[in-house]
Structure 1
Amino acid sequence: MVAAGIFLIARLFPLFIIIPYIMNIISSIGIVTLFLGATLALAQKGIKRSLAYSTMSQLGYIIVALGIGSYRAALFHLITHAYSKALLFLGSGSIIHSMEPIVGYLPDKSQNIALMGGLTKYIPITRTAFLLGTLSLCGIPPLACFWSKDEILSDSWLYSIIFGIIAYFTAGLTAFYMFRIYLLTFDGYLRVHFQGYSNSKNNSSYSISLWGKSTSNRANINTNLPVSTINNNNKVFFFSKDKKNSIKNRICDFHFYFGNKYTSIYPHELDNTMLFPLLLLILFTMFIGLIGIHFDSRGIDPDLLSKWLTSSKNLLVENSNSCLNSYFFLKNAIISVSIATFGLCIAYIFYGSVYSFFQNFYFFNSFLKRGFKR
């Protein structure tokens, strides 16, 4: 459904070229879409909503490429972005799945990145996969999206300086909000244990205080959903039908078994059923960009993607010849990677392990002390 509009414009591309002003309209819609999607992604707390607005922004890049005549770059980015975003969405599903035993089946809590953090030691495979997908979407070489995104950025700059500035600026925003999602999810400590989920004042559940003290009772574990105690002979029940101890405005009861079977209140990695496609998408994210790289320096043999797009062979001649100049490629790559790296660094300053340094005003106090000494 998402790719249907892209394919429609791509298939009607020869018709749109001869219609006056239609290409300008397409490129203008694309530039607004990519900037709007990136700015909306900055303010999202849900991990899936953030990735959804990221998809909106990347589709804007594809529309811009089609509007400025970069037919091959648009379809190339459609392919590379598909594998990278599939890896990110499957990784977010793994993250949500690992959080649900703690907060229950509540999307506003299990998908809230503000309640996550420190998941690296609990789901390391998912963390590695999500990091690769994040770096690919940011345009870090040699991952998939770098090759297609860099081509769109350079073509947009050649088409219009205004379009180029917006496209490069949005590339920095993309690196910022994507690394923000990664840091809030995997860096630091698990913040969910420092949130109060119980409405009752007398809470006899397992709790972890802000100062590191911990107390545990084998009776109850108060999550956002009510938990009741069962005998050791019972099994683990989810969505229990027992409504005797039900609380108003609650949907279901969760029962945890503390007998011989181990039940953890911390996130856990997925089983092999979901890890296998995650690892498969990692391979595609790392190597799918090879289909659009020119290995023949003479330019006689086109790349694999250009061979596939034989129906629009005349539209690919200009782009194929422009890719032969390694000097311009390296110059454009250095600029785009530098902007993406700058966005990553800014995100780490605000959301990384050093963010408490700024929250406690040590940074500003240090400048004040230096001023007084002078």
Structure 2
Amino acid sequence: MEPLYQYAWLIPVFPLAGAMLVGLGLISFNRATNRLRQLLAVFIVSWLGASMVFSFAILWSQFHGHEPYQRTLEWAAAGNFHLMMGYTIDHLTALMLVVVTTVAFLVMIYTDGYMAHDPGYVRFYAYLSLFSSSMLGLVVSANLLQVYIFWELVGMCSYLLIGFWYDRKAAADACQKAFVTNRVGDFGLLLGMLGLYWATGTFDFDVMGANLETFVESGYLGAGMAAVFAVLVFLGPVAKSAQFPLHVWLPDAMEGPTPISALIHAATMVAAGVFLIARMYPVFEGIPVAMTVIAWTGAFTAFLGATIAITQNDIKKGLAYSTMSQLGYMVMAMGIGAYGAGLFHLMTHAYFKAMLFLCSGSVIHGMEAVVGHDPILAQDMRLMGGLRKFMPITSLTFLIGTLAICGIPPFAGFWSKDEILGSTFEVSPILWGIGWLTAGMTAFYMFRMYFSTFEGEFRGNEME
């Protein structure tokens, strides 16, 4: 199994190679590259497929008790300052690699049909591949500085993809809003990262956590200062995972094509924030103030997202606020110390939320034939209804996704959400109450969405 781990750095490199080759083709031979659109799509999907197979092999190896593996090399040095770069493979990495590669792979296959008539088809595939590569690089990063580099790459790719239809004013405004909002969180992350390096002398996650705890206990570093650094680092995930008050970019991100809405809201950008909290757990768990801030931010965001989702008539914005609410659950779980429950919900949510978004894309495509290519009308649930008769497979898959997100057994959402609520009840009945109330609201807004779209009579012909 050792060669498998020695070549694990190829997982983010494969999709990067696909993106770079196709990108160079678009720059150098634009017309010829666009003529080979189908072939290039297969080329890019094949690279990501290779990464996916590699990821499953690593997860299988981790299941069978393989030791965590880390490989680093010195990237820069000045006096006593040594900057290491490399990759690490452990349980968390193995799980995230599989989630990211499988969701991205399925989204790329779906994209072939969804973007078939779009003149930017090849460019979209190149962006998707770069986005996947950035997220995979973030997942395997061996230290906080390397995470930050890929963190910014993920932010840049989301800017390119949300504003993919840059000739639409709404899309151009949305990608700027997402970029600026995330810069606020990233500035906090950068300050916290530098503060932690100043305090502990390392960017390595485990060593940083151990040193910080030792220095606080010995009085070398004040507990208040350690809490400030931890909360500043948490600002990064607050923006990336759309937590209150930096959640405002998320609904606007719906201006991008539906496949990228599925990828951003399932496995990549929003998952990056929860992943960073998990990676920085050795730092956070020794600082009770930071854990309390994380738990309450998550609980409030879960409740806020659910209340806003109830009022939405746009199918994609309803799902966007639903994502914000579910991410709140994950962040709350991390804050109360239910590390496993939070990651379990991250994994289950990635699959059923990607499915719900891809179903919504199918519905929007169908509605465009009736109401025209106006995104406001095509996504308005008030004009839908009775679509189950016309698209039975989409309605069935949307219903399965709805049952999963509502926490109905035996679907995956039941096991992960129930574990979060069970763990929360043991720590704080108040937080449990908020989570329980939010779960009820989730069931209400998701079934409202399902019935408005697929049941009753079709209302699209009544449009004035």
User: TM-score, structure 1 length as denominator?
Assistant: 0.52
The aligned residue for residue 380 of structure 2 is: 112
Pair 1:50 & 2:318 matched:
yes
Point out the structure with the larger helix share. 2
How far did residue 128 of structure 1 move?
Answer: 0.3
Residue segments in structure 1 that go unaligned for 5+ positions in a row: 197-374
Q: CA RMSD in A?
A: 0.6
Mapped partners of 1:7, 1:195: distance in 2: 44
Letter in 1 for 2:319: L
Q: Map of 1:227-266 to 2, 5 A cutoff?
A: none
Pair 1:155 & 2:423 matched:
yes
Q: Map of 1:56-75 to 2, 5 A cutoff?
A: 56-75=324-343
1:28 to 289, 292, 296: 296
Q: Which moved more, 1:18-27 or 1:66-75?
A: 18-27
SS of alignment partner, residue 153 of structure 1: helix
Mapped partners of 1:73, 1:63: distance in 2: 10
SS of alignment partner, residue 373 of structure 2: coil
Letter in 2 for 1:90: L
Mapped partners of 1:97, 1:139: distance in 2: 28
The aligned residue for residue 194 of structure 1 is: 462
Which aligned segments of 4 or more residues in structure 1 are displaced greater than 3 angstroms? none
Mapped partners of 1:37, 1:160: distance in 2: 21
The aligned residue for residue 165 of structure 1 is: 433
Pair 1:98 & 2:371 matched:
no
SS of alignment partner, residue 456 of structure 2: coil
* Structure of higher CA gyration radius: 1
How far did residue 20 of structure 1 move?
Answer: 3.4
Pair 1:77 & 2:342 matched:
no
CA-to-aligned-CA distance 1:303-333 (integer Å, 9 cap, x gap): xxxxxxxxxxxxxxxxxxxxxxxxxxxxxxx
Mapped partners of 1:19, 1:62: distance in 2: 19
CA-to-aligned-CA distance 1:15-55 (integer Å, 9 cap, x gap): 11112311001001001110000001011110000000000
The aligned residue for residue 4 of structure 1 is: 272
CA-to-aligned-CA distance 1:41-89 (integer Å, 9 cap, x gap): 0111100000000000000000000000000000000000000000100
Pair 1:181 & 2:449 matched:
yes
Mapped partners of 2:435, 2:424: distance in 1: 7
Pair 1:142 & 2:400 matched:
no
1:129 to 387, 397, 410: 397
Letter in 2 for 1:182: Y
Mapped partners of 2:412, 2:309: distance in 1: 22
2:308 to 2, 19, 40: 40
How far did residue 144 of structure 1 move?
Answer: 1.0
2:285 to 17, 28, 34: 17
Mapped partners of 2:358, 2:342: distance in 1: 24
Aligned residues: 196
Mapped partners of 1:35, 1:125: distance in 2: 31
How far did residue 107 of structure 1 move?
Answer: 1.0
SS of alignment partner, residue 183 of structure 1: helix
The aligned residue for residue 87 of structure 1 is: 355
Letter in 2 for 1:179: F
How far did residue 160 of structure 1 move?
Answer: 0.8
SS of alignment partner, residue 18 of structure 1: coil
Greater RCO, CA 8 A, separation 6+: 1
SS of alignment partner, residue 285 of structure 2: helix
Mapped partners of 1:195, 1:49: distance in 2: 21
How far did residue 91 of structure 1 move?
Answer: 0.3
How far did residue 157 of structure 1 move?
Answer: 1.3
How far did residue 150 of structure 1 move?
Answer: 0.4
The aligned residue for residue 116 of structure 2 is: none
SS of alignment partner, residue 45 of structure 1: coil
Mapped partners of 1:20, 1:145: distance in 2: 29
Percent identical pairs in the alignment equals 58
Mapped partners of 1:42, 1:20: distance in 2: 34
